Amino acid sequence: MYILKIQGTGKIPDYIQIRDKDFTLIAYFRINNPKTALTRCNLYHRLDEILQIARNLEYGKIQKLDQ
């Protein structure tokens, strides 16, 4: 899986994307409201890890998540 941080513009907030090995979108959420999206894709147990990575990730960069 991969995590990306997308920078918002104006009224559009910053978002986080989580994608699988084929780069298919798994989750898409605002960094300040991840619980619902991560619960839907069965990644809620990794909430702290994902948020830590997302906060430190530069906009537009891709980082691989260990499975």
Mean pLDDT over 43-63 rounds to 90
- Reported as a single tens digit per residue, the pLDDT across 1-36 is 999 999 988 888 889 999 999 999 999 998 878 888
- In the chain, DSSP assigns E strands to 2-6, 15-19, 25-30, 62-64
Element (H, E) at 2: strand 2-6
